[in-house]
Amino acid sequence: MHLLSGLKLRGRLTLWVCLLLVAALAPVVAVGVHVIRRNLEQQVHGVLQVEAEGLRDLVESSLQERETNARAWTEDAILRGALLFGTYAKSDAVLATLNDRHATFAGLVLFTVDGQAVSVSRPALRDAFAGHEKDVLAAPWFQAALEDRLDPAILTGAITRTDPFFARPVMPLALPVLSPISGARVGVLLAAYDWNQLEQVVAGALQRAHDRGQRSFTLDILGPEGARLYSSRAPGLASPPRAVRAQALDEDTTRFAAGHGWRFVAELDAQEAFLPLRRFLQLSLLAVAALVALAALAAWALARSVTRPITLLSALVSRVVREGDLTQQVALRDQQDEVGELAAAFARMMDHLRESTTSLQQGTRVLGQTVAELTTATQQQERNLLQQTTALQETHVTAQEIQQTSQLAAQRSQAVLGLVARAREVGSEGETTLGASLDGFEELRDHGARLAADISSLHERTSQIASITQTVKDLADQSNMLALNAAIEAVRSGEHGQGFGVVAREIRSLADQSIHATGRVREVLDDIRGGIQSTVALSEEGQRRSEAGLSQVRATRQSLHALTDIITDNASAAQQIAAAVIQQNAGIAQIFTAVTDLSRMMDETLQAMHDTQRMTQDLRGVAERMETAAGAWRV
C-alpha cells in the first residue's frame, strides 16, 4: 500500500489492471495445467498401457507362433525318418532350411532319447553338443520334453542366463518327436528361440515411441518372481528416479502357456512424459507475460487517456490558482465520457466562479461607494450634531439665565407683595408710599419687560431647538435610508456582505433611536412652547396691568382718597403677577430640565454617531479587504 501511495493515478491504474489480470489468469492457468496434467497423465498412461499390452500380445503371439512351428516340425517325416533310419544328412538340410527361414531361432537340434545330438541346423552346434550327452539328459528342458510339456519355470529360468551351448540367452522350446507308426518317443527336437531376437519384436513399439519424441521409453518383461527377462534399456542404465509405468499381465493360458504370470512393463521418464506440460506451462507463462505486458500497455494507454484530461484540468486549476486568471477556457467538455462530464462540470464551476467574482467585484465597488457616501453622511451628521450640541449648550446657558431671572422676579414679586401689605397698613404715608409703589411698579414694569424679552428670546430658542430637532430627524431619516440601502446591498453581496449587513442594521437602529429621541424632544419643545406662550400672555397681561397700576398711581397723586382702592387693585395685580411669576418660574424650571435632558440625549447621540463613524471605518476596512480579495481574480 505504501508503494501504491507513492505512485500516480496512471501507475496505480496500470498496476491494478496487471494485478487483476494476473489474479484472473493465475486460476485459469492453474486449472488448465491441472486439467492438462491429468489428461496428459491419462494419455501417457493409456499409451504406455497400450504399448505394454501390445508387447504382451506381440510376445505371446510370437512365442505361440514359434511353439506352433516347433510342434509342426516335430511331425516332419524327414526328421522322424532320420531318427528311425539314421538319415541325418537329410535332416540336417531340413533343419538348416528351417533355421534360415526362421532366423529368430538360435539353432535347431535333433536329439535321440539318450541325449545325443544327431542332427543340427548349424555345424557349430554339433561340436557344441558333442560329448555332453549327460548334460543334455540332465537338462530340465530335456526332461520336460520327454514328458511332452513346456514348463514355464524352465523356460523363464533359461532366458535369464546365457546358454552354454548357444552362448546367448535362449528359450529352449523342446518337444518330443513321436514315431508315426507306434507313436513312441524316438527323439527330442530343440528349437532354441534366440531371446535377443526379441529386439526385433519390440522394435516397432520403440520406434513409435521415438517418433513421439519419447527417448526414455523402455519395455521390460518380468517373470512371475520379478526377474527381468527382457529390457530395451541399454545395459548398465538405471531406471529413472521418477518414471511413469504401465504393465500388462499374461493371464491367458490358452495362448503361450510358458509366458503365464509374466509382466510386460512400459516405462517412460516422468520428466520426458510431462515435457509437453512443461512446454505448455512455459508457453502459458510466456503468453501470460505477453498478455500482462499487453494489458500493462493497454492499461497504461487507458490510464493515460483517463489521467491526461485530469492532468490538463489540474494544470488549468494550477494556472487559475497561481495567476488568478478566471478567463481560462476549459477544453474536453465535448468528450462523451465521465472525464467530459468532469470537464463540463469544471467549466460550469469556472463560469459560476467568474460570475461570483464579477458580482463580488461589483458589490465591493458598490460597497466602497456606499461606505464613502455613508462616511460623508456621518461626517455631515456629526458636524450637524456638533452644531446642535453647541446650540443646546447655548440654550442651556440661556435657560439657566432665564431661570435665575425668573427666580429674581419671584423674589421681587414677594417684595412687591410685602410693599403692598405695608401700603395697606401704612395708609398715612400715602405720598411716600405711592412714590415707593410707583418706583416699585416701574421697576416691576422693567422687570416684566425684561422678562417678556427673555421669554420671547426663549421662544426663539425653542424654535431654533425645534429646527435643530427637525434637522436631526432628517439626518436620522437619511441614515435610516442609507442603512436600508446598505442592508439591500449586503443581501445582494451574499455571504461576503453579512458583516456589512450587521453594521447596516446597527446604523438603522441608531437612526430609529435618533428619530424617537427627536420626537420626544419635539413633544417637550411643544410643551415648553405652550408654556412660554402662556407665560408671554401672562407677562403681557401683567405688563398691561402694571401700566394700568402706574396710571392709577399717578392718578392717585391728585387724590389720596382713591389711594386705598388703587393700593387694593395694585395688591391684587401684584398677587396675580406673583402667581404668574411663580408659574413662569416653574415653567422655566421645566424648560431647563428639558434642555438638560436634550443636551444629555444629544451627547448620547453624538457618542452613537462616533460609534457609527468607527463602525463605518471598520466597514471601510472590510470593503477594502473584499475589494483586494476580489481584485486578485481576473475575469
Tracing cell 492532468 back to the chain, one arrives at 311
Range list of H helices, 274-337: 275-323
- Same domain flag for 485 and 617: yes
Distances (CA, A) of 142 to 80, 114, 121, 138, 344: 18, 10, 18, 7, 108
Strand-by-strand arrangement of the 243-249 sheet: 228-231, 218-222, 263-269, 243-249
Query: For residues 250 and 117, what is the distance between their CA atoms, to the nearest angstrom?
Result: 34
In this structure, are 403 and 264 located in the same domain?
Answer: no
The CA distances from residue 190 to 143, 193, 383, 617, in Å, are 12, 9, 157, 140
C-alpha cell at 597: 435632558
What pLDDT does residue 259 have?
66
pLDDT at 321 over 80: no
Highest mean pLDDT among 60-69, 100-109, 230-239: 100-109
The pLDDT assigned to 567 comes to 67
In a domain, 224, yes or no: yes
- 127 pLDDT above the threshold of 80: yes
Q: Where residue 380 falls among pLDDT bands split at 50, 70, 90? A: confident
Phi-psi map region of 236: left, alpha, beta (phi>0 left; psi -120 to 50 alpha): left
Q: Is residue 634, in this structure, part of any structural domain at all? A: no
Residue 422 clears pLDDT 80, i.e. is over it = no
- Rounded to whole angstroms, the Cα distance separating 368 from 350 reads 26
Is the pLDDT at 457 greater than 60? The verdict is yes
Neighbour count for residue 112 (Cβ, 10 Å): 17
Least confident of 92-101, 205-214, 418-427, 596-605: 418-427
Lowest mean pLDDT: which of 102-111, 265-274, 474-483, 489-498? 489-498
Domain that holds residue 402: 385-622
Is residue 20 a part of any domain in this protein?
no
28, part of any domain: no
Alpha-carbon span 225 to 232, nearest angstrom: 19
Is there a contact between 120 and 187 (Cβ–Cβ < 8 Å)?
no
Q: Are both 65 and 197 inside the same structural domain?
A: yes
Give the pLDDT band of residue 434 (cuts 50, 70, 90): low
Domain stop point among 273, 294, 329? 273
Of the pLDDT bands very low, low, confident and very high (cuts 50, 70, 90), residue 329 is: low
Let me know: does 591 contact 458? Beta carbons within 8 Å: yes
Question: What cell was used for 43?
Answer: 494419455
- Tell whether the model's pLDDT for residue 318 goes beyond 60: yes
In this prediction, residue 423 carries a pLDDT of 64
User: Pick from 273, 292, 312: which residue ends a domain?
Assistant: 273
Collapse the DSSP code of 168 into the 3-class scheme (helix H, G, I; strand E, B; otherwise coil) and give the result: strand
Do 250 and 389 fall into the same domain?
A: no
Could you tell me if 217 and 267 are in contact, meaning their C-beta atoms sit under 8 angstroms apart?
Answer: yes
Residue 560 predicted with pLDDT over 60: no
- Is residue 314 in some structural domain? no
Residue 633 has pLDDT above 90, yes or no: no
The CATH number that applies at residue 45 is: 3.30.450.20
Q: What percent of the chain has pLDDT over 90?
A: 7
pLDDT band at 179 (very low <50, low <70, confident <90, very high): confident
Residue 519 lies in a domain: yes
C-alpha gyration radius of the chain: 75
Q: How many domains does the chain have?
A: 2
pLDDT band at 22 (very low <50, low <70, confident <90, very high): confident
Question: Residue 244's beta-bridge partner residues?
Answer: 268
pLDDT of 574 reads 66
**More confident position, 76 or 478:** 76
Q: What is the mean pLDDT of residues 564-575?
A: 69
Instruction: CATH number of the domain at 617, please.
Output: 1.10.287
Contact (CB, 8 A) for 104 and 76 = no
Strands 263-269 and 243-249: antiparallel
- Total Cβ atoms within 10 A of residue 554: 13
pLDDT the model gives residue 433: 67
Among the residues of 102-195, which ranges form H helices? 123-129, 133-138, 140-146, 152-158
Dihedral over Cα of 512, 513, 514, 519: its sign? positive
Looking at the structure, tell me whether residues 472 and 613 fall in a common domain: yes
Residues 577 and 439 in one domain: yes
Lowest-confidence region among 27-36, 105-114, 176-185: 27-36
Distance CA 93, CA 98 (A): 9
Whether 392 and 252 share a structural domain? no
pLDDT in the model for residue 110 = 93
pLDDT at 1 > cutoff 60: no
What strands, in cross-sheet order, belong to the sheet with 170-178? 117-120, 105-112, 185-194, 170-178
489 contacts 497 by C-beta, under 8 angstroms: yes
Instruction: Name the least confident of 157-171, 448-462, 511-525.
Output: 448-462
Model confidence at 580: pLDDT above 80 = no
Average pLDDT estimate for 143-167: 85
- How far apart CA 45 and CA 273 sit, in angstroms, is 10
Rounded distance between C-alpha atoms, residue 622 and residue 616, angstroms: 10
Confidence band, pLDDT 50/70/90 cuts, at residue 368: confident
pLDDT at residue 353 is higher than 70: yes
Express as a percent the part of the chain with pLDDT over 70: 75
**Would you say residue 367 lies in a domain?**
no
CB 118 within 8 A of CB 81: no
Task: State whether 607 and 486 are in the same domain.
Answer: yes
User: Are 419 and 550 part of one and the same domain?
Assistant: yes
Q: Which has more confidence, 60 or 350? A: 60
218 three-class SS: strand
* pLDDT > 60? residue 502: yes
pLDDT at 42 over 90: no
Q: Which single residue is written with the C-alpha cell 542404465?
A: 237
Tens of pLDDT along 244-276?
777 777 666 555 666 667 888 888 777 776 666
Top-ranked range on mean pLDDT: pick from 205-214, 318-327, 397-406 = 205-214
Same domain for 595 and 446: yes
How far is residue 201 from each of residues 55, 205, 219, 523, 540, measured CA to CA in Å? 8, 8, 11, 146, 171
Are 406 and 267 members of one domain? no
CA distance 216 to 265: 14
Compute CA 231 distance to the chain's CA centroid, rounded to the nearest angstrom: 70
257 and 397 inside one domain: no
Q: Identify whether 357 is part of a domain.
A: no
**Chosen domain end from 230, 258, 273:** 273
